[in-house]
Structure formats: structure tokens, C-alpha cells
Amino acid sequence: MAYNKTQRSDWVSNPDACAVELALATISGKWKLRIYEILRTGDAVRYCLINNSLEDISEKTLTAQLREMEEDGIVTRIVYPEVPPRVEYQLTALGQSLQTVFDSLSNWGKAYIETNRSLKH
């Protein structure tokens, strides 16, 4: 299920909403977990490095995903007053707290692949 901004804003006004759905809405999107993987080292990463690391992503989509992650408090955008402008992104403390979730999803995905591989043979 895809989650959109309208659905996510509903959770702010409804404290009884499912926390799992809120978490999924925050990290959903084709590119967000891949962006997270690039940023999880803890160092600030330049926009161009993120863009170059992700194949087949448009600049418009990357910018939109990074903006959503910034609005959700997952990343911080750092703009340096230089010409040409230099923009870097870094995980916030909230973003860093996703590490255990990311690792769990990765481990589950690997186990899922292995299970399906063994079932097909």
C-alpha cells in the first residue's frame, strides 16, 4: 500500500492511529530506504553523490524524496553559502534511530530470499 502526505497528516490529528502504519508511511517510497542506506554512515553526504549512487532516479524524484525525509525529521539539509551552492544531507538522531529497523528489514529480506530460493529447488 502506498502512503501519501494526506494520509500521513491524518496521524497527527488521530493519536489512536496505528503506529506501524505511521512508520511505514514515513519510510515508504521506492527510494527512501536506498537513500537511507547511503546516509547511514553518519557523515554528511553531498546531493550529487546521492544522485550518482542511485541509478535510474530523476533529480525531481530524488529532491522530492529528500524533502519528505527532511519534513519527517529523518534527514537534515545543510546548504553552504558558496558559488556554486553545495548541499549536503545527514541523518538526524531520529533518522539514526532507524538503524535497527533497517537492519531488521534487511535480515528479513535476506531470509525471505533464501526461503523462496530453497522452495523453488
pLDDT, tens digit (0-9, with 9 covering 90-100), for 18-51: 778 888 888 888 899 999 999 998 899 999 999 9
Grid cell listed for 80:
553552504
Verify that 25 and 41 share a domain, yes or no. no
pLDDT score of 121: 64
Verify that 89 and 111 share a domain, yes or no. yes
Segment among 1-5, 98-102, 113-117 with least mean pLDDT: 1-5
- Residue 79, domain CATH: 1.10.10.10
Q: Cell numbers 490529528 label which residue? A: 13
Q: Which domain holds residue 80?
A: 31-120
Of residues 119, 37, 28, the one with CA closest to residue 72: 28
- CA–CA dist 52, 83 (Å, integer): 21
pLDDT, tens digit (0-9, with 9 covering 90-100), for 67-107: 999 999 999 999 999 998 899 999 999 999 999 999 999 99
Verify that 66 and 103 share a domain, yes or no. yes
